[in-house]
Amino acid sequence: KNQVEQSPQSLIILEGKNCTLQCNYTVSPFSNLRWYKQDTGRGPVSLTIMTFSENTKSNGRYTATLDADTKQSSLHITASQLSDSASYICVVRSWGNTDKLIFGTGTRLQVFP
Amino acid sequence: DGGITQSPKYLFRKEGQNVTLSCEQNLNHDAMYWYRQDPGQGLRLIYYSQIVNDFQKGDIAEGYSVSREKKESFPLTVTSAQKNPTAFYLCASSNSENTEAFFGQGTRLTVV
């Protein structure tokens, strides 16, 4: 069964600290993996998209990694800011005629001053 | 501005009533999707459309209906047959290839 699991479910850190969010997937065949940031009550916004051949990609203070062999991805946030408080969702796209995106349940990050 | 727009942002419905959620995009994307988000759960696919005048059921299509008469528009109707319609509904669009999906800002539907 195609699944995307994220950990931790929730995380609290102090402003200025770094953190790493994890995503494990069992989706096959794999097309790409995306990380989204979702503020409460808003739609998700894309942070990064990674294909099979990419193992790291940065977007400002966000750095995503992908290990296609172990089917794991991480999102590292550097020097966290209060505005980083949000849910971070890992999404894996599967090839095939259904063109499906499989969503993780997200990690709820709270950054405190 | 290019983007994807959902309306309304908040919607209240009485039990037994049908209600239609709007989703419009001006990104010239072929594919459009409707998802439902419940607390503590990942987004679940309701319906998707990869081309005008064609759409497919997702994982939780029962009690919902859609149409795709125009490339820009993909309205979702929540019918009275949907047993637990209170949720946050998200519409998305993407190109047919490996590009990101753009999401609307969501519609929060509450059945009263």
Predicted confidence at residue A31, as pLDDT, reads 85
Which of A5, A25, A97, A99 would you mutate first to test chain B, the one with the most B CBs within 10 A? Answer: A99
Q: Mean pLDDT lowest for which of A36-45, B6-15, B36-45?
A: B36-45
A32 touches A17 (CB < 8 A):
no
Predicted confidence at residue A99, as pLDDT, reads 58
- Which SS3 state, helix, strand or coil, does residue A60 take? coil
Predicted confidence at residue B42, as pLDDT, reads 82
Closest by Cα among B104, B95, B28, B3 to A93 = B95
pLDDT band, very low/low/confident/very high, at A88 (cuts 50, 70, 90): very high
Predicted confidence at residue B98, as pLDDT, reads 52
Q: List Cα–Cα distances, B43 to B37, B77, B112, in angstroms.
A: 5, 18, 23
Residue B72 has pLDDT above 90, yes or no: yes
Give tens-digit pLDDT for A96-108. 655 578 889 899 9
Residue B2 has pLDDT above 80, yes or no: no
Amino acid at A77: I
Amino acid at A37: K
A43 touches B106 (CB < 8 A):
yes
Terminal alpha carbon distance of chain B? 35
Give tens-digit pLDDT for A6-63. 999 999 999 999 999 999 999 888 888 999 999 988 999 999 989 888 999 999 999 9
Q: Cα(A44)–Cα(A35) distance, rounded to whole angstroms?
A: 9
Give tens-digit pLDDT for B26-38. 999 999 999 999 9
Q: Which residues of chain A approach chain B closer than 8 Å at the C-beta?
A: 4, 31-32, 34, 36, 41-46, 49, 51, 89, 91, 93, 98-106
Amino acid at B51: I
φ, ψ of residue A92 to 5 degrees: the values are -115, 135
Predicted confidence at residue B25, as pLDDT, reads 96
Residue B1 has pLDDT above 70, yes or no: no
Predicted confidence at residue A97, as pLDDT, reads 52
**Is some CB atom of chain A closer than 8 A to the CB atom of B10?**
no
B110 touches B101 (CB < 8 A):
no
Q: Cα(A84)–Cα(A59) distance, rounded to whole angstroms?
A: 13
- Which SS3 state, helix, strand or coil, does residue A104 take? coil
Q: Are A106 and B42 inside 8 Å of each other by CB?
A: yes
Question: Which tokens sit at B15?
Answer: 């039990």
Among A31, A34, A100, beta carbon nearest to B100? A34
pLDDT band, very low/low/confident/very high, at B96 (cuts 50, 70, 90): low
Among B12-16, B29-33, B74-78, name the most confident range: B74-78
Q: Are B101 and A42 inside 8 Å of each other by CB?
A: no
Closest by Cα among B82, B79, B78, B66 to B33 = B66
Residue B99 has pLDDT above 80, yes or no: no
Neighbours of B14 (CB within 10 A): 9
Q: Cα(B24)–Cα(B14) distance, rounded to whole angstroms?
A: 25
